[in-house]
Amino acid sequence: MSNSLVSINLVVLNGEKYIRYCLDAILGQTYPHELIELNILDNGSMDGTKEIIKNWKNISLDKLRIPKFFSLSSEKNLGMWPGQEELLKYSNGKYVLAMAVDVILDKDFVKNAVEMMGNDVKIGSLQAKIYKYDLINNQPQFTRIIDTLGFNISRSRRITNIGHGEQDVGQYDDIREVFGVEGACPFFRREALDNCRVNGEIFDHDYFWYGDDLDFAWRMNLFGWKQILASSIIAWHDRQTTKSLKKSWIDYILRVPFRHQILIKKRRLDWRNTRWTIVKNDYIINILKDLPYILIREISVLGYTLLFEPKVFFEISTFFRYLPKMLKKRKGIMAKAVASPMEIRNFFK
């Protein structure tokens, strides 16, 4: 077994109902505990999260057999990925597991991930097979329904979660390269994180809440790092937003009541940050080749938004106000890009 140190970095905001299960799964890992460090950032929680973390920290480290159990508290919400970047300052691992609090790891998650990383030094991140779970009567109920197997991208630049909502019958058990790892519990090579830093940032702090993982995944492709789906690495996620993949206009109409349960701020960031990601990372030649597909999708999104979510367009002013800044970031990204337009184009399905 590898003797590589692994940093498990957990960013949490108001995670009272999840954090005990999340920590139990971390402490139940079969990977040697002396090779795990646990770093937690509380992002300004207003529930009982801080007290739970404090109680866990007071448990004897000898009992936990973890050499480092570090916790940090922020007075304000930094956001998930800027929070992860803050924890990297205190991380010493060769590998970094970036966790959200509503994720529960399989006991062999870290062991299998470290073994997979050892197969190829160009693997920058691993995508777990993530299933759905629900909290029923405050107890996790695990399923074999796929939550995500990573990001897929189409020629229209529509982003979808691979396998989302499907029953797992082994249809994704082969090892494959994906366009991007999803942000619930990606397993990173620390070298890749540092290599993908642009203008002093690993993750774009202007995104704040939504789309940071997609933006970073696209950049990893540009910088020549592989992102691998490995079905032996398993976790469960209680997704609070999208519950099913939309395949037709009828599906989009039916989802309207569920979409309205999502904070309007998050829906606005979804629209804005996805388009910033394209501005920053997409090769112009690829945009031109796929322009008909892109325009058709944008017209469809425009129509849906005008009919059902007009408040999303309040974000347009911010999108254009920051556009010069995004173009400047694009310049920094493209200066370091090593993958050709054709290599990136191979991901567009």
Domain map (residue ranges) of the chain: 103-349
Contact criterion met (CB below 8 Å) for 194 and 210: no
Tens-place pLDDT, residues 306-331: 988 999 999 999 999 999 999 999 99
- What's the mean pLDDT when you consider all of the chain? 91
* pLDDT band (50, 70, 90) for residue 69: confident
The DSSP line for 181-201 is --TTS-EEEHHHHHHT-BTTB
State the amino acid at position 53 in one-letter form: I
Contact criterion met (CB below 8 Å) for 297 and 156: yes
Contact criterion met (CB below 8 Å) for 99 and 19: no
Contact criterion met (CB below 8 Å) for 198 and 329: yes
* pLDDT band (50, 70, 90) for residue 187: very high
Task: Count other Cβ atoms within 10 Å, centred on residue 94.
Answer: 16
* pLDDT band (50, 70, 90) for residue 256: low
Please give the pLDDT value at position 265. Answer: 84
Report how far residue 171's alpha carbon sits from residue 235's, in angstroms, rounded to the nearest whole number.
17
pLDDT of 243 strictly over 60: no
With the CA atoms of 282, 242, 101 and 9 taken in that order, what torsion angle do they form, in degrees rounded to the nearest 10?
-10
pLDDT average, residue stretch 34-59: 89
Pick the residue with more confidence: 347 or 263? Answer: 347
State the amino acid at position 212 in one-letter form: D
pLDDT average, residue stretch 102-109: 98
Contact criterion met (CB below 8 Å) for 225 and 196: yes
* pLDDT band (50, 70, 90) for residue 60: very low
Q: What percent of the chain has pLDDT over 70?
A: 91
For tokens 């994720």, the residue is 103
Please give the pLDDT value at position 242. Answer: 47
With residues binned 3-state (H G I as helix, E B as strand, rest as coil), the percentages for the chain, rounded to 5, are 40, 25, 35
pLDDT average, residue stretch 284-300: 97
> Which of 51-55, 118-122, 319-323 is the least confident region?
51-55
pLDDT of 204 strictly over 80: yes
Contact criterion met (CB below 8 Å) for 26 and 105: yes
User: Token digits for 62?
Assistant: 């000898």
Instruction: Read off φ and ψ for residue 75, nearest 5 degrees.
Output: -75, -20
Cα distances (angstroms) measured from residue 203 to each of 14, 21, 195, 223: 22, 27, 12, 14
pLDDT average, residue stretch 280-305: 96
User: Token digits for 57?
Assistant: 């920290």
> Which of 77-81, 87-91, 222-226 is the least confident region?
77-81
pLDDT of 116 strictly over 70: yes
pLDDT of 112 strictly over 80: yes
- Does this model's pTM top 0.75? My answer is yes
User: Token digits for 116?
Assistant: 């997979």
pLDDT of 190 strictly over 80: yes
Q: What percent of the chain has pLDDT over 90?
A: 79
For tokens 């367009």, the residue is 313
Cα distances (angstroms) measured from residue 199 to each of 27, 202, 336: 36, 8, 11
Please give the pLDDT value at position 258. Answer: 59
Q: Within its chain, how far is the Cα of 134 from the centroid?
A: 19
Helix (H, G, I), strand (E, B) or coil at 33: helix
